[in-house]
């Protein structure tokens, strides 16, 4: 009857009132927030301190809140007391122990340099060449690159000299001319070509090389590789003399001993390259004297050029003029066999040159032997020990009828007499066998000895050692 009346009258039925909290909710939340902030600040202090609580016990505020706190985990405290007294320590906690399962890279020392400069030369009005070594692994497995800049000198006489800006080269590329023969280090030749002539005003400046570790342009080394002084006229060598100073020039591998202080390159032993860095030395020679001669020959001090049939060098090179490069076939000679007649004694050999004594040539055919070469250096950008692959123009190898070279391998390192085995001169056309190798008697170089002696006497005088 009561429900029907309520519905009919449109009223709302009364609901039992819940039990009131022991205090209002808003002040409680404000107090809880302040308490939380104070607790956080307490945890962040450099040393802990015990403060008297500004609030009464939660149990006195409300039994329900005290009951909830009984089931909450205790708040951690970071308190470190010193053993000597009751004061609180301000020293930081010890660092955590290293995680044995964590793997890190710890680099120690250095394996090989990004670039080791050996020489830098102007190759023409617009070009430069930089010769050096670089880490072989980084060039085999990475992608290092180079960029050249010309930094002109500022005019210091002006009231407010402007700051010079580096001029980037229009084209910079590098070559590895040792064909992969390098070891820890490989030879690098960097060619820089500018759109305008650097130092055209003869005010001087610097050639800068940026050597990059990889594809990213942000990591590189900046090297001053060459400097031209004001008034030095570096372009004169390319404009005033259309004809080179010499007809022929010789470049050979480095020598050691008390020969000349200016040839002392013993520091190369610190950079492990192919065979005492031969490729580095010949490339430096090429670019240092690129415009000094028309033809540059590359061979070693134990090798001698021979022209058959009485030809002159002018005649041979005139016939090879259309080529930038030609290679030369080797005649390998014994380093221990000497011929002695019936009336000759060992004393007769004491004053003779090595190529007079060693007259037996290896007669094995059908094998590939190293060749040496000559090149018109103005058309070469880099070179090797046995030939160049970085040239403009053609190469010929068919030169046996024009020029050869005799190679006396393993003779320059023999201290004392090179004749270690004497054999009779065989009949014409016959062979001598020694160490399982057939040797043919060849006295072509021996017959030239007197002519060479006379040339040396006229050129440098009598020399006795």
For residue 119, being part of any structural domain is answered with: no
For residue 70, being part of any structural domain is answered with: no
Q: Over 403-444, what HEC string results?
A: CEEEECCCCCCCCCCCCCEEECCCCCCCEEEECCEEEEECCC
* 339-390 pLDDT, tens digit each: 877 777 666 777 889 999 999 999 998 899 999 999 999 999 999 999 999 9
* 103-142 pLDDT, tens digit each: 888 889 888 999 999 999 999 999 999 999 999 999 999 9
Q: Is residue 352 a contact partner of residue 419, using CB atoms and an 8 Å limit?
A: no
Helix intervals (H) in 246-398 = 278-288, 313-319, 354-357
* 11-32 pLDDT, tens digit each: 444 444 444 444 566 777 777 7
pTM of the model: 0.75
- The upper half-sphere exposure of residue 244, i.e. CA atoms within 13 Å in the direction of its Cβ, equals 15
Contacts of 130 (CB under 8 A, 6+ apart): 117, 119, 120, 148, 189, 190, 192, 207, 209, 225, 226
pLDDT given for residue 465 in this prediction: 52
Of 238 and 183, more confident: 183
Q: In sequence order, what DSSP letters do the residues of 84-139 get, joined into one string?
A: SSSSBP-SPPPPPPPPTT-------S-SS-S-EEEEEEE-SSSEEEEEEEEEHHHH
Q: Is residue 281 a contact partner of residue 273, using CB atoms and an 8 Å limit?
A: no
pLDDT given for residue 44 in this prediction: 57
Of 154 and 241, more confident: 154
Which residues sit opposite 106 in a β-bridge? none
Token digits for 123?
């190759």
For residue 8, being part of any structural domain is answered with: no
Domain of 333, in residue numbers: 299-465
Q: Is residue 212 a contact partner of residue 142, using CB atoms and an 8 Å limit?
A: no
* 248-264 pLDDT, tens digit each: 999 988 877 676 666 87
For residue 262, being part of any structural domain is answered with: no
Does the pLDDT of residue 50 top 60, yes or no?
Answer: no
pLDDT given for residue 261 in this prediction: 63
pLDDT given for residue 1 in this prediction: 44
Tell which residue, 309, 306, 314, 426, has the closest CA to residue 363: 426
For residue 121, being part of any structural domain is answered with: no
Instruction: Name the region of 261 (left: φ>0; alpha: ψ -120 to 50; beta: rest).
Output: alpha
Using CA atoms, how far apart are residues 120 and 221, in angstroms rounded to an integer?
17
Q: To the nearest whole number, what is the mean pLDDT of the chain?
A: 82
pLDDT given for residue 84 in this prediction: 39
Using CA atoms, how far apart are residues 180 and 178, in angstroms rounded to an integer?
6
* 297-335 pLDDT, tens digit each: 999 999 999 999 989 999 999 999 999 999 999 999 999
**How many beta carbons lie within 10 A of that of residue 137, not counting itself?**
13
Token digits for 54?
């500004």
For residue 167, being part of any structural domain is answered with: no
- How far apart, in Å, are the Cα atoms of 382 and each of 187, 354, 370? 10, 33, 19
pLDDT given for residue 196 in this prediction: 95
Using CA atoms, how far apart are residues 283 and 190, in angstroms rounded to an integer?
11
Residue carrying the six token digits 């390998």: 332
Share of the chain above pLDDT 90, in %: 54
For residue 238, being part of any structural domain is answered with: no
How many domains is the chain built from?
A: 1
Using CA atoms, how far apart are residues 156 and 296, in angstroms rounded to an integer?
42
For residue 321, being part of any structural domain is answered with: yes
Does the pLDDT of residue 78 top 50, yes or no?
Answer: no
pLDDT given for residue 429 in this prediction: 84
Share of the chain above pLDDT 70, in %: 77
pLDDT given for residue 162 in this prediction: 59
Question: DSSP character for 77?
Answer: -
């Amino acid at each position: 009857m009561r429900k029907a009346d309520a519905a009919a009258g449109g009223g709302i039925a009364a609901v039992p009132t819940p039990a009131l909290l022991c205090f209002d909710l808003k002040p409680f939340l404000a107090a809880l927030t302040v308490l939380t902030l104070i607790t956080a600040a307490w945890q962040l202090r450099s040393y802990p301190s015990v403060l008297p609580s500004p609030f009464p016990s939660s149990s006195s505020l409300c039994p329900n809140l005290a009951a909830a706190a009984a089931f909450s985990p205790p708040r951690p405290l970071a308190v470190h007391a010193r053993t000597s007294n009751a004061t609180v320590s301000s020293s930081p906690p010890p660092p955590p122990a290293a995680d044995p399962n964590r793997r890190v890279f710890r680099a120690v020392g250095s394996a090989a340099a990004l670039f080791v400069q050996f020489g830098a030369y102007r190759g023409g009005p617009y070009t430069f060449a930089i010769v050096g070594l670089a880490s072989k692994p980084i060039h085999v497995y990475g992608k290092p690159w180079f960029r050249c800049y010309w930094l002109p000198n500022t005019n210091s006489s002006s009231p407010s000299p402007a700051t010079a800006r580096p001029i980037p080269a229009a084209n910079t590329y590098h070559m590895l001319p040792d064909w992969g023969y390098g070891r820890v280090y490989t030879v690098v030749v960097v060619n820089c070509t500018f759109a305008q002539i650097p130092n055209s005003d003869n005010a001087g400046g610097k050639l800068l090389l940026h050597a990059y570790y990889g594809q990213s342009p942000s990591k590189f080394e900046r090297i001053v590789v060459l400097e031209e002084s004001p008034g030095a006229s570096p372009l004169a060598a390319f404009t005033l003399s259309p004809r080179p100073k010499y007809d022929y020039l010789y470049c050979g591998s480095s020598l050691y001993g008390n020969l000349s202080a200016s040839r002392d390159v013993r520091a190369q032993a610190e950079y492990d390259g192919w065979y005492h860095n031969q490729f580095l030395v010949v490339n430096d020679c090429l670019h240092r004297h690129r415009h000094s001669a028309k033809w540059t020959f590359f061979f070693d001090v134990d090798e001698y050029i021979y022209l058959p049939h009485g030809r002159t060098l002018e005649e041979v090179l005139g016939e090879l003029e259309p080529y930038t490069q030609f290679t030369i076939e080797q005649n390998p000679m014994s380093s221990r066999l000497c011929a002695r007649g019936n009336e000759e004694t060992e004393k007769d050999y004491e004053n003779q040159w090595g190529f007079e004594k060693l007259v037996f040539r290896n007669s094995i055919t059908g094998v590939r032997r190293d060749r040496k070469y000559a090149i018109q250096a103005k058309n070469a950008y880099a070179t090797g020990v046995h030939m160049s692959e970085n040239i403009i123009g053609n190469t010929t190898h068919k030169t046996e009828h024009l020029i050869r070279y005799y190679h006396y391998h393993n003779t320059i390192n023999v201290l004392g007499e090179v004749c270690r085995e004497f054999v009779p001169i065989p009949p014409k056309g016959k062979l001598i066998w020694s160490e399982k190798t057939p040797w043919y008697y060849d006295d072509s170089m021996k017959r030239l000895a007197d002519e060479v002696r006379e040339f040396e006497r006229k050129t440098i005088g009598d020399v006795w050692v």
